[in-house]
Amino acid sequence: MSSRKYFVVFLLGVFFCFTADTSIVDLSSSFNIDDGVGTTSLAICHAVSIVVAVLTPVIGHKVGCKRLLMIGVVGYLAYILGNLYSGFITLVPAGFFMGLGEAWVWTALPIIISYFAKEQRNEKESFGCQLRRYTGYYVAVIELSTFAGSALSFAVLHIDRSLSSQHTSNITSKPRDLTVCGANDCQIPNITKANEDQYHPVYPITKYLFIAIIATISIVAILIFYFYIPDDVAWDLAEGVEKDETKAQLTSTESNQPSSNELTKQDREDKCDVKTTDSQTSICALIMQSVKDSYRLAVSGKHLLIVLLPIYNGTSNGLLFGELTRAFASCILGVDHVGVCMMVYAVTTCISCMACGKFSARYGRNIPFLLATAVEVTIYVFCLNWNITTDNTWLVYALFAAFGVSLAVWNTLIIAMYGEYFENEEKLAYNLWNIVCSIGLMWQFAVSTFFCVYVKIYIQLGLLGAAVITYLISLVIYYPEQCRLIQNKKNIITVTQTVGEKLTSRESVI
């Protein structure tokens, strides 16, 4: 198949992968609300992801992007199966395996996206423009998978509620204290126990059926990645070219070398000794080199000025999956409506991703960043001042829709920004993005049971303000040409080419 067709099938695998993953993550804080075991498992997941991500460049260099991605999806599958029983004994190990998956999947996927972007690059567009467009397609598919997974969870849980009319009537007639929902949700055990019906399906078999369905979908994703991701997708995007050149050089060299039968016994022994020594030292050398290069990139001035953006992006996603789905969707509407809320979120995010990718490819990222900042500040102020009543519960859907617009911008352009800021060091940059984003996610899930939702909103406002300020400083120092809000296409290409020329002189990481 052509590279474009490979990319389409690859996106189909991404769709199935995250349909299964996001559908269980959406419900984890509700299904496993007792003692906060659901958010605790997700905090463990991202803590493991941070540690493992340090070694990801070495592992990816050894096994390649394709295998790394497939092994990561197996980790997702382990977390799905771990939710069969809501307890620390199953969810803690499940969170560990999902942490491995998070470290590897979210690093491998952007590298594969960069591979396809470089394959389809033409003379009219720079790599940065093409990368932003392909990243928009990629994130849009992820959000579309969120819609599909949410629709699946809604269908299963709605049938569960419908099968017991008596239970449904009890929930309808039972007065609920909405003052403990939304920003006032503090996960106080006795209050949570009193509203337990809002967070669990009626019949236990419903949960098992749902998990069986999404586990099957995850297995389908693994098969698609195995059969349809090209084998020549190298971990280092330049590795494929280097291998071809090395192979050609070796071929010409070997033609002038004696055959194996002509080699003396001492020559063969010397070659074996060198091979054994290389195999013993290569892994340690790669690990040390990976840690040094990751540290070098992490503490560089350019990265320190933008690091708050991916951290904030992680905390925003954590707020969505850990707090909004529980404190707003489940607490106010019921667990069966979490799927509907996430469907609304997925639709607005998918549309916004496509629009954001195309707009930023032509005019730059500054206007979308400004829009996302304004939308999220509005969301936070609304949540802090919302007086929830039975007459305005429909505003929960509007809340998820607005959050979809802002997160579409952050999820799309922050990933692409790392590829542009650190071109020719993409594998390190994307892995570093994964680490710092996981730090934000881990923080949000870890403090889920310690702070009320309104405290977390105040933290989000402060972090957002600091992230935007440091990003603007990075533009002034490193990319003054991009300081204006609107950039025409010619300027973007010129700036990106200039950055590429500066980064070309840097040494390859592995």
pLDDT for 269 equals 46
Closest by CA position to 478, among listed 453, 501, 495, 456: 495
The SS3 assignment for 55 reads: coil
Q: What is the dihedral of CA 318, 319, 324, 325, to 10 degrees?
A: 10
Tens digit of each residue's pLDDT (9 = 90 or more) over 300-359: 888 999 999 999 999 998 898 888 888 888 888 877 788 888 888 888 887 887 788 778
CATH of the domain at 475: 1.20.1250.20
Domain extent for 82: 3-230+294-502
Does some domain include residue 331? yes
Burial of 264 (0-12, 13-18, 19+ CB in 10 A): exposed
The rounded distance, in Å, linking the Cα atoms of 270 and 264 is: 10
The rounded distance, in Å, linking the Cα atoms of 4 and 21 is: 26
Instruction: Give per-residue burial for 320-331: e unless 16+ CB within 10 Å, then b.
Output: bbbbbbbbbbbb
Residues 6+ apart with CB under 8 A from 349: 140, 143, 146, 404, 405, 407, 408, 411
Does some domain include residue 201? yes
Res 490 pLDDT > 50: no
Average pLDDT, the chain: 77
* Residue 509 structure tokens: 């990481």
The rounded distance, in Å, linking the Cα atoms of 266 and 215 is: 56
Residues 6+ apart with CB under 8 A from 416: 128, 131, 132, 135, 360, 365
Does some domain include residue 153? yes
* Residue 3 structure tokens: 């590279």
Does some domain include residue 275? no
Q: Which residue has the tokens 């997974």?
A: 149
pLDDT for 77 equals 93
Residues 6+ apart with CB under 8 A from 373: 406, 464, 468
Does some domain include residue 266? no
Q: Which of the residue ranges 236-250, 253-267, 431-445 has the most confident prediction, judged by mean pLDDT?
A: 431-445
In three-state form (DSSP H/G/I as H, E/B as E, the rest C), the secondary structure along 280-343 is HHHHHHHHHHHHHHHHHHHCCHHHHHHCHHHHHHHHHHHHHHHHHHHHHHHHHHCHHHHHHHHH
Res 510 pLDDT > 50: no
Between 279-288, 410-419, 486-495, the lowest mean confidence (pLDDT) is in 486-495
Neighbours of 486 (CB within 10 A): 10
Instruction: Give per-residue burial for 220-250: e unless 16+ CB within 10 Å, then b.
Output: ebbebbeebbbeebbbbbebeeeeeeeeeee
Does some domain include residue 508? no
CB 465, CB 312: distance < 8 Å = no
At residue 362 the predicted structure's pLDDT band, cuts being 50, 70 and 90, is confident
* Residue 47 structure tokens: 């803590």
Res 500 pLDDT > 50: no
At residue 85 the predicted structure's pLDDT band, cuts being 50, 70 and 90, is confident
- How many domains does one find in the chain? 1
Instruction: Give per-residue burial for 347-359: e unless 16+ CB within 10 Å, then b.
Output: bbbbebbbbbbeb
Does some domain include residue 278? no
Closest by CA position to 318, among listed 446, 218, 183: 446
Tens digit of each residue's pLDDT (9 = 90 or more) over 255-281: 444 444 444 444 544 444 444 444 444
pLDDT for 295 equals 84
CB 369, CB 471: distance < 8 Å = yes
Does some domain include residue 437? yes
pTM, full prediction: 0.67
